[in-house]
């Protein structure tokens, strides 16, 4: 496996290329955090720095971040997902849904998107598709404010898990 250089050893373009997908299709997070990266920074510290960038962003930018995420077990083929999303969804068994589960995921995805204006986001690593479906059934009934906050927290968890994966591969 190739070793990812310490963030400060990378120029900004290479850093964004290496870490820009930590927050799904939202390279602005990596661009904003780049100046604060120091040699040898650990995954937890980097995750916290990235989290702070997102937390300080406007609600409009946060909404764009949420909307950058794919539907879970949605209509997009696994080939259209980012490598990280494809691996995460496959690991949770979302590529093995029964026809009834897939239909329920699609119905919930549609209802959720219509109600909240962004896709259902769940950090699937370590969960089975049945657990995710149950959480989906509950969260679709949340208020928009509660769900916006929950979705952002899930995005942070996804980012932290992705950074930990990169750190473990080095």
b (16+ CB within 10 A) / e for 64-84: ebbebbbbbbbeeeeeebeeb
Catalytic residue among 69, 128, 141, 142: 69
DSSP 8-state assignment for residue 5: P
Torsion on CA atoms 98, 102, 107, 109, rounded to nearest 10 = 140
Residue ranges of alpha helices (H) inside 75-143 are 83-91, 99-116, 129-139
| Selection from 103, 116, 111 nearest residue 146 by Cα | 116
DSSP H or E run through 32: helix 27-33
The yes-or-no answer on residue 128 being catalytic is no
CB 94 within 8 Å of CB 145: no
Residues annotated as catalytic (active site), given as ranges? 69
């Amino acid at each position: 496996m190739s070793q990812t250089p310490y963030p400060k050893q990378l120029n900004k373009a290479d850093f964004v290329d290496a870490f820009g997908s930590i927050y799904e299709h939202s390279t602005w997070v990596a661009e904003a955090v780049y100046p604060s990266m120091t040699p040898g920074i650990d995954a937890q510290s980097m995750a916290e720095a990235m989290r702070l960038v997102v937390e300080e962003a406007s609600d409009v930018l946060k909404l764009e971040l949420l909307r950058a995420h794919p539907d879970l077990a949605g209509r997009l083929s696994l080939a259209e997902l980012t490598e990280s999303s494809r691996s995460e969804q496959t690991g949770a068994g979302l590529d093995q849904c029964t026809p009834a589960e897939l239909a329920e995921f699609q119905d919930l995805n549609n209802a959720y998107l219509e109600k909240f204006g962004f896709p259902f986001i769940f950090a699937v690593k370590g969960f089975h598709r049945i657990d995710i479906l149950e959480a989906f059934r509950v969260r679709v009934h949340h208020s928009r404010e509660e769900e916006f906050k929950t979705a952002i927290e899930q995005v942070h968890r996804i980012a932290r898990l992705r950074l930990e994966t990169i750190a473990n591969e080095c």
